[in-house]
A = this chain, B = another copy of it.
Amino acid sequence: MLRLFRYNWQVRNEWFDWCENVSEEELLKKRTGGIGYILPTLYHIVAVEYGWICGGIQEKAIEIPSFGEVASLRQVRELSERCHAELAPFVYDWNDSLEDRIMIDITDEGEREAHAYGEVMRHLIAHEIHHAGQLSIWSRELGRQPVTANFVGRGLFDN
């Protein structure tokens, strides 16, 4: 489980680096599909991971700023780092006994849904990879080489 989170965190930071060479106008330009914009996609990835782990599983009273409150590359990256620092210990301490523990999610429609922790964790893994795949299309539309999605070759099995 941890290794796919580490993969996503590594890829996410490479997307932030990629953004450094793209104008703010392009980062905030409306595009087709997904979240519809590059920088809000990265914000969304961060907010969803933090919301499910710290808000949902850990039941902390968290506050997630709206995108409008952090609408620059520097601020979204800082938000990612803050959220990561808070949620990473849970991921590093993950063990199989947590798989089937149950958390209750309140959906946007106000309904209560039960999810196993292991289900939530895999949802987050797939969620970030999915959105990074979308970024890769928009990257090519900009004529830029996307961040590689390869898991092999990242040294994620060296320790």
Residues of chain A whose beta carbon lies under 8 Å from any beta carbon of chain B: 3-4, 7, 32-34, 100, 113, 115-116, 118-120, 122-123, 125-127, 129-134, 136-141, 146, 149-152, 156-157
Interface of A, secondary structure class, is: helix
Q: How far is it, in angstroms, between the C-alpha of A131 and the C-alpha of B90 when the chains are bound?
A: 29
Contact yes or no, A127 B149, CB < 8 A: yes
Contact yes or no, A4 B122, CB < 8 A: yes
Contact yes or no, A7 B122, CB < 8 A: yes
Closest to A131 in B: B133
Contact yes or no, A32 B125, CB < 8 A: no
Q: Return A144 CB to nearest CB of chain B, in Å.
A: 10
